[in-house]
């Protein structure tokens, strides 16, 4: 949790702009990061919904991969000047992210907490996996509702 807090705090103060990446590349990397999160979540969601047979090892691995992704220094992905107003057609990240970093941080913490809880139970059976995946999915949606545009 502390790591996530620190990286989000840095994101909030990154306006001084120490990152030399082109804005388009930042947006591309951000989307790639969330693509990976979504990729693992698709496996877990498929099992929770009965579209994929439950497998303890696969579920554990996917949960662990998402946990690993939460260790990523996401401040690098939230560089100012990379919202959908700055880069129309390239990103769905709303400008609200940069005006409400505390809110993003709150959503990020709920997400992280749900990932930790999921990791505790992912390998223990479908009955435990289902609600944990549901809870995690709710934290994805909560952030997307406020900070991700529906369209490009
Ligand atoms: C703290 C906020 C936050 C949380 C939590 C979050 N996301 Fe996102 N997600 C975003 C933002 C912002 C974008 C838009 C990125 C862009 O377009 O630059 C995004 C984009 C995506 C994308 C689209 C990537 C693309 O190709 O453009 C997927 C898939 C995704 N998220 C899945 C998830 C899943 C699954 C979870 C939960 C397990 C999750 N996200 C949790 C903020 C969040």
Domain that holds residue 128: 2-147
Which range among 1-5, 48-52, 96-100 shows the weakest confidence by mean pLDDT?
Answer: 1-5
Indicate whether 91 belongs to any domain. Answer: yes
Alpha carbon nearest to ligand 1 atom 25, residue: 31
- Give the domain CATH number at 133: 1.20.120.10
Is the pLDDT at 148 greater than 80, yes or no?
Answer: yes
Closest of 30, 24, 64, 27 to residue 44, by C-alpha? 64
Q: What is the pLDDT of residue 7?
A: 55
Ligand 1 atom with minimal separation from the 149 CA:
14
Report how many domains make up the chain.
1
The 10s digit of each residue's pLDDT in 124-140 is: 999 999 999 999 999 99
Indicate whether 139 belongs to any domain. Answer: yes
Q: What is the pLDDT of residue 1?
A: 47
| pLDDT more than 70, % of the chain | 88
Give residue 4's pLDDT band: very low, low, confident or very high (50, 70, 90): low
State pTM to two decimals. 0.91
Ligand 1 and 111: CB distance under 6 A = yes
Indicate whether 152 belongs to any domain. Answer: no
Please give the full DSSP string across 112-135, using - where no structure is assigned. Answer: HHHHHHHHHHGGG-HHHHHHHHHH
Indicate whether 30 belongs to any domain. Answer: yes
Q: What is the pLDDT of residue 127?
A: 98
CA distances from 128 to 50, 67, 123 (A): 14, 18, 9
Kindly report the average pLDDT of the chain as a whole number.
91
Ligand 1 and 140: CB distance under 6 A = yes
Q: What distance in angstroms lies between residue 57's CA and the mean position of ligand 1's atoms?
A: 25
Give residue 56's pLDDT band: very low, low, confident or very high (50, 70, 90): very high
């Amino acid at each position: 949790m502390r790591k996530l807090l620190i990286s989000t705090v840095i994101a909030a103060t990154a306006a001084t702009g120490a990152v030399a990446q082109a804005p388009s590349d930042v947006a591309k990397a951000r989307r790639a990061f969330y693509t990976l999160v979504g990729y693992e979540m698709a496996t877990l969601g498929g099992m929770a919904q009965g579209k994929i047979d439950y497998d303890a090892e696969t579920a554990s691995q996917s949960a662990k991969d998402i946990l690993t992704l939460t260790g990523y220094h996401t401040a690098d992905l939230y560089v100012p000047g990379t919202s959908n107003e700055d880069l129309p057609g390239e990103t769905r990240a709303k400008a609200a992210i940069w005006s409400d970093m505390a809110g993003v941080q709150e959503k990020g913490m709920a997400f992280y907490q749900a990932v930790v809880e999921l990791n505790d139970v992912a390998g223990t059976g479908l009955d435990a996996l289902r609600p944990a995946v549901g809870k995690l999915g709710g934290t994805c949606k909560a952030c997307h509702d406020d900070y991700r545009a529906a369209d490009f």
